[in-house]
Amino acid sequence: MVLAAGLGKRMRPLTDHTPKPLIKIAGRTLLDRGLDSLAASGVETAIVNVHYLGDQIIEHVRHRDKPTITISDEREELLDSAGGIVKALPALGNEPFFILNADTFWIDRGEPDLDRLALAWDGEAMDILLMLADPHRATGHSGSIDFLIGQDSRLARAKGASESFIYAGAAIVHPRIFDKASATAHSLNIYFDRAIAEGRLFGQVMEGHWITVGTPDAIAPAEAAIALARTQ
């Protein structure tokens, strides 16, 4: 599930006429960078939700071969991160699936981080497994730090603590967490907190370099990080 329905307000004026997932970083759109990572990890089908300037995204993904794209249309009503997933559940099925934000990406170092995430998944113990970024191996992050990780890889909210990690906008979830949920606007954070309370939210720190582009002035640092990685 690729979450591509946001309004991209912080990226204005670039998003006045272009949806944020189609903003190009070093010649490739944010959306394609995420879809490329999924394809490289063997994902055959991706559900992409659309809302703001959704026609442009629908047209853009028509030209991709891998993964096969199914559109979840939210143009009539924006459903936030969790509501959008609930709406798409009939297409996602009954097995665990990846969630990917369309406005973050990363540069793998060694084994692809999505492959590592899949290998770490344990459906007996976990309801949600988040990919986490070390703030020292990240470009463009200006917000708060999100989670503390325990020795057993269980997560707690950071609440300003040091030595904590950023949610990297990629996860594996089991669809059972959405049992009886409705396709109304609500956030994934509700499910993160429920899983914390039940001891079923886990995390894995990525090995790659994480990049987020939240505002226009974050584009130059992102492109510099990509250029540096190509020389290494």
pLDDT (0 to 100) of residue 158: 86
- Six-digit token string for 94: 């009954």
Q: How many residues belong to the chain?
A: 232
Per-10-residue mean pLDDT for the chain, 232 residues long? 92 93 94 94 95 95 92 93 95 95 89 95 96 90 83 89 86 95 94 96 95 90 88 69
Integer Cα distance of 116 and 32 in angstroms:
21
Say which CATH number the domain at 161 has.
3.90.550.10
pLDDT (0 to 100) of residue 230: 78
Integer Cα distance of 108 and 110 in angstroms:
6
If we measure between CA atoms, which residue out of 132, 106, 49 comes closest to residue 226? 106
Produce one character per residue of 10-20: b if its CB has 16 or more CB atoms within 10 Å, e if not: ebeebbeebbb
User: Range of 36's domain?
Assistant: 2-231
- Our count of domains for the chain comes to 1
pLDDT (0 to 100) of residue 146: 85
